[in-house]
A = this chain, B = another copy of it.
Amino acid sequence: MRVGELSKRSGVPIPTIKYYLREGLLPPGAATAANQADYGDGHLRRLLLVRALIDVGGVSVAGARDVVAALAAHADDPLELLGAAQSAIAPRHRPDRETPDWQAARKRVLALIVEHSWLIHPESPEIDLVTDALAAGGLLGVTELFDNLDRYADSAESVAAAEVGAVLARPDPASRMELVVLGTIFGEALFSALRLLAHQHESARQLGFTNKPEITQ
């Protein structure tokens, strides 16, 4: 298909498509004339993926490029792929981890892992990410938010169990890994939006507003 058709079918404006081509988020089409190229269904699918990463996953253009590059280059390397997905949604900076408060928070995370009998490698970098969030709450005087760490852990475990189950139900490794990458990013977006919605419900419920608004389906 021509670029106009690609734009129409994807809903992405032509100048944006040209920008993605220049930035390497989309591979070039097959040249058919001096100023013309032909695009296939693979281009359409890639374009939809890039847009969803940016619009729904909240990933930056650079992050989206990393994710699609990893999907193309490391379809057989689970760790590379997972790293690309995780770094696309994780903060780019890291806080000071040398403080006694941070070390104390890390001990609390390790205790949580032991209590929940989680099978986690002791050097796992995600332990430090959890600690970052916990330590930030302490630094800013909002520790009561994390009094109930078990509840966060139980909820994370429940969501993760469903996600990992869906991945393992896929028959072939390449398709599994695609689901790991997309599931990491879009599962996060889904939970995040549902949590904001649930805040609204819980505020109304805990404040005693029990008149249900009319939802017309």
Contacts and interface: CB of A to CB of B under 8 A. Distances in A.
A140 interface: yes
Contact of A197 (B126, B183, B194, B212): B126
Interface of A: 11, 45, 48-49, 51-52, 54-58, 86, 89-96, 99, 107, 110-111, 113-114, 116-122, 124, 126-127, 129-130, 132-137, 139-140, 142, 144-148, 151-166, 168-169, 178-179, 182-184, 186-207, 209-217
So how many copies of this chain end up in the complex? 2
Given A142-B183, A166-B145, A213 B122 contact: yes
Q: Is the interface of A mostly helix, strand, loop or mixed?
A: helix
**Which 5 residue pairs are nearest across A and B when measured between Cβ atoms?**
A160-B198, A58-B91, A155-B155, A129-B193, A133-B190
Given A186-B133, A206-B165, A153 B198 contact: yes
Given A132-B55, A196-B86, A217-B110, A163 B145 contact: yes
Contacts of A214: 122
Given A157-B201, A161-B202, 15 more contacts: A11-B99, A56-B136, A90-B192, A113-B197, A117-B212, A118-B197, A118-B201, A119-B210, A120-B213, A122-B215, A127-B197, A137-B186, A144-B179, A168-B206, A184-B199
A61 to B, nearest CB: 11
A215 B95 contact: no
18 contacts: A48-B140, A54-B91, A54-B93, A56-B132, A58-B89, A89-B192, A111-B217, A120-B197, A134-B190, A142-B182, A145-B182, A151-B159, A156-B194, A157-B198, A160-B199, A160-B201, A161-B206, A164-B203
